């Protein structure tokens, strides 16, 4: 059990479970993109730990770019996506993998995918450490998923509660 600000969280996924799943996702990506050159787009802030551990295991040719998007404040969705740092890489005709920490409602990913399609990407797939199928209302679920989880608020391993908890090596869920 840990306390962050005014909330209590209980252990949900250990660092060993997380690292094991990342290796499996990396193996899938390596199989699918073995002979391709790929642009990997990392959505900040929450994805930084997942992206770092995942990208180190990629064996195919890749380049990495970052965007910073915000669709949540505290526990609630803003209902739209704020682009705090935009994409500054040419994506036309490229194979793209978008890395996100968690896909729940799909608002952030929908926004990102629409922008990429308007820029005529060659192909695009989403890779997410966590996916909440019960909360998802987006157009396209992530192709590469570490864990499908219930619709619970989680923190740690890059994900935050009011900017706290990102540095935790495990993932915790809000205590009921």
Q: Is residue 4 part of a domain?
A: no
Contacts of 141 (CB under 8 A, 6+ apart): 103, 106, 126, 131, 133
Q: Is residue 76 part of a domain?
A: yes
Q: How many CA atoms lie within 13 A of 22 on its CB side?
A: 22
From the candidates 53, 100, 101, 104, give the one annotated as an active-site residue.
Answer: 104
Q: Is residue 2 part of a domain?
A: no
Q: Is residue 1 part of a domain?
A: no
The pLDDT of residue 68 is 83
The pLDDT of residue 130 is 98
What is the number of domains present in the chain? 1
The pLDDT of residue 79 is 57
Is residue 104 part of the annotated active site? The answer reads yes
Residue 172 and residue 11 in contact, taking contact as beta carbons nearer than 8 Å: yes
Contacts of 50 (CB under 8 A, 6+ apart): 22, 99, 101, 129, 146, 157, 158
Q: Is residue 78 part of a domain?
A: yes
In the structure encoding, which two tokens stand for residue 119, read together? 């820029």
Contacts of 69 (CB under 8 A, 6+ apart): 43, 44, 81, 82, 83, 84, 108, 111, 112
State the residue range of the domain holding 118. Answer: 9-174
Distance of CA 89 to the CA centre of its chain: 19
**Nearest of 102, 83, 75 to residue 158 by alpha carbon:** 102
> How confident is the chain (176 residues) per 10-residue block, as mean pLDDT?
95 98 98 96 94 98 88 54 64 94 90 89 96 93 97 95 94 95
Q: Is residue 3 part of a domain?
A: no
Q: Is residue 119 part of a domain?
A: yes
Phi, psi of 73 (to 5 degrees): -140, 125
The pLDDT of residue 70 is 65
Q: Is residue 44 part of a domain?
A: yes
Which CATH number do you get for residue 93? 3.40.50.2020
Contacts of 89 (CB under 8 A, 6+ apart): 39, 41, 63, 65
């Amino acid at each position: 059990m840990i306390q962050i600000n005014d909330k209590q969280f209980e252990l949900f996924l250990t660092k060993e479970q997380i690292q094991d799943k990342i290796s499996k996702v990396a193996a899938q990506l390596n199989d699918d993109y073995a002979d391709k050159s790929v642009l990997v787009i990392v959505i900040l802030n929450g994805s930084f730990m997942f992206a770092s551990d995942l990208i180190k295991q990629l064996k195919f040719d890749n380049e990495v770019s970052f965007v910073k998007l915000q669709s949540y404040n505290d526990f609630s969705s803003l209902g739209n996506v704020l682009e705090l740092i935009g994409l500054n890489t040419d994506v036309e005709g490229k194979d793209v993998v978008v890395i996100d920490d968690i896909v729940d409602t799909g608002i952030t990913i929908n926004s990102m995918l629409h922008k990429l399609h308007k820029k005529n990407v060659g192909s695009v797939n989403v890779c997410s450490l966590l996916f909440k199928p019960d909360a998802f209302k987006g157009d396209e679920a992530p192709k590469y998923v570490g864990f499908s989880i219930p619709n619970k608020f989680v923190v740690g391993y890059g994900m935050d509660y009011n900017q706290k908890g990102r540095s935790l090596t495990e993932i915790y869920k809000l205590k009921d």
